[in-house]
Amino acid sequence: MLQSDRREFLKLAGMAGVTFTAGLFPGERVAAQATDFHFVQFSDTHWGYSGAANPDAEHTLAKAVATVNGLARQPDFVVFTGDLTHTTDDPKLRRERMKRFREIVSALAVKDVRFMPGEHDASLDKGEAYREFFGAPYYTFDHKGTHFIALDNVSDPAAKLGDEQLAWLAADLKQRKPDDRIIVLTHRPLFDLQPQWDWTTADGAKAIELLMPYRNVVVFYGHIHQEHHHMTGHIAHHAANSLIFALPAPGSQPKRAALAYDAATPGKGLGTRDITVADKVTLIELPVTKG
């Protein structure tokens, strides 16, 4: 995370001077609306990837599953924010990768697991194989008073949510009260994080506009293979680490090439995230393997 981003985030979140692990529900009132809970976010597992950026690619996902299974307090549920598998032009191999991915994550002790697609899963066939294995690419669910909205900004290969999904989002939000807790899960950043690297959603601004009237909105996403925090108005956006390879900080170098694997620190820059939802949202980054 760039220091300037971090300072700006802390300032906007009203948390300057506090060790950064948390983003507030900005409009939360003193009286909590729901029982505390926590969940774990996996992102960008890219099952099927093979390359120098992660010589341990065949084992990283299983190690992360074991680490989450070892948490003293098990999460209420687990979410995967896209790029479950690494892309392939071969539809048969794509399905084999999804099948094997599902087998590996079935070892999670927590059985409430929610999936979302990334462009590597869904952009070449408009989500056909993804839906066969994991169901609807966008949906909502509720947990202990928090409303979760999973958005699909990858089944359209041009990285659009599309008018149909935006109308669906608008209809869902109409049923919410202005101070409801809302957590949005998606793959790509909804805001223009780094347009020169295509780290955007083509019509993401429309989704943010729809979310703006709601005071307690937090977005969790993936795609950029690194922890990153950003505010659009009062809405916090948190990007997660990947489980395959890390990417450079936005705009820090000419190209978004994978960071080189460091044999001295395997797993560096990779991991999952434990998210506690109470009167504020607390983020704890988890390593691949607890050493």
Partner 1 sequence: MQRRVLMALLAGSALGGAARLAADQPVEIRISAKKFEFHPNKVMAKRGQPLVLVLTSEDRIHGFKMPDFGVRADIVPGQETRVPLMPDKAGSFTFFCDVFCGDGHEDMDGTLVVEA
Q: Quick check: 223 and 241 in contact, CB under 8 A?
A: no
DSSP state string for 129-191: HHHHHH--SSEEEEETTEEEEE--SSSSTT----HHHHHHHHHHHHTS-TT-EEEEE-SS-SS
How far is residue 288's CA from residue 62's CA, in Å, rounded to a whole number? Answer: 9
For residues 63-92, which are near partner 1 according to CB under 8 A?
Answer: 86-89
Strands 216-221 and 146-150: unpaired
The sign of the dihedral angle between the CA atoms of 198, 201, 206, 207 is negative
| Cβ 119 to partner 1 shortest distance, Å | 5
256 binds partner 1 (CB under 8 A): yes
Least distance in angstroms from the C-beta of 282 to partner 1 = 32
Of 68 and 159, CB closest to partner 1? 159
Site mask for partner 1 (CB under 8 A), range 139-158, x = bound = ---------------x--xx
C-beta closer to partner 1: residue 215 or 225: 225
Residue number with CB closer to partner 1 (157 or 213) = 157
Backbone angles phi, psi at 98, to 5 degrees: -65, -40
Angstrom distance (rounded) from CA 26 to CA 16: 14
Kindly identify the residues of this chain, within the stretch 30-69, that bind partner 1 according to CB under 8 A. none
If the CB atoms of residues 51 and 145 are measured against partner 1, the closer one turns out to be 51
Q: How far is CA 34 from CA 8, 30, 173, in A?
A: 29, 12, 19
- Comparing CB distances to partner 1, the nearer of 146 and 165 is 165
Could you tell me the smallest distance in angstroms from the CB atom of residue 154 to partner 1?
8
What is the contact surface with partner 1 in residues (CB under 8 A)? 86-89, 119, 123-124, 154, 157-159, 195-196, 198, 202, 254-256
